[in-house]
Amino acid sequence: MDLNADFTKRVVVHAGDAPWIASPMPGVDRRMLDRIGDEVARATSIVRYAPGSVFSAHTHTGGEEFLVLEGVFQDEHGDYPAGTYVRNPPTTSHTPGAAEGCTIFVKLWQFDLEDRTQFRRDMADQLGPVTDGVARGELHRDEREVVSYLTLAPGATLNEDVPGGIEVLVLEGALREGDDALAPWSWLRLPDGQPLRATAGPDGATLWMKTGHLPFATAPSV
């Protein structure tokens, strides 16, 4: 499957309004945002675990990063409440589930295959001072990408002009970018060379953002 697989194109998906698609595991549904491949795929998705659902044990050959949007994600390593950002690099393994149900935003097969840095972070704890209505926290940085968490005050503007592409998921509030009004779970991907010029709505906005990564987008090796 190829879905939004042309990384030279701007893409917006209002995932909060998209239908849920069943995964091969009972009780686990997803909203696909981009994808190259079938069940082994370079993929960006929103995944919902029904209460009591468990995904089979697996190894992350290509790495996995996720942030918990709702509920509490669980595996044998611990509990991950909403607002937690996690990186599970290549060679890590786990058996995920959610006793009470949860929803996560997850990216698969998008790591440097030599990366072995595993961690979890409370995103709100990373926020720095407010400048011109924008507070920013750096969640991860390496030679390929920078991952950030941002809060914007009502009407604040966000101007990003960095090489390698920009990807944004709206977590709370509203954001206007070009002609698009982005609501919670709206996902925006801008190609390399296209700057981000966005303005928060009347209640502000909270965002997850990744930059610099699109030149490394390839199909997974299996």
Q: Which two tokens stand for residue 130?
A: 């407010």
Low-confidence ranges of the chain (pLDDT < 70): 221-222
Model confidence pLDDT, tens digit, residues 178-213: 999 999 999 999 999 999 999 999 999 999 999 999
The Cα 4–Cα 18 span in angstroms is 15
Q: Over the stretch 79-96, which tens digit does the pLDDT of each residue have?
A: 999 999 999 999 999 999
- What is the model's pLDDT at position 222? 58
Half-sphere exposure of 153 (CA within 13 A, CB side): 8
- Distances in Å between the Cα of 114 and the Cα atoms of 37, 57, 87, 90, 110 are 21, 22, 14, 7, 12
Could you give all domains of the chain from N- to C-terminal order, each with its CATH number? Answer: 19-121 (2.60.120.10), 123-216 (2.60.120.10)
Q: How many angstroms separate the CA atoms of 54 and 52, rounded?
A: 7
Contact (CB, 8 A) for 73 and 47: no
Amino acid at 15: A
Place of tokens 């595991």: 25
Cα 78 from chain centre = 20
Report helix, strand or coil for 127. Answer: coil
Sign of dihedral through CA atoms 94, 137, 145, 180? positive
Q: Provide CB contacts within 8 A for 17, sequence distance 6+.
A: none
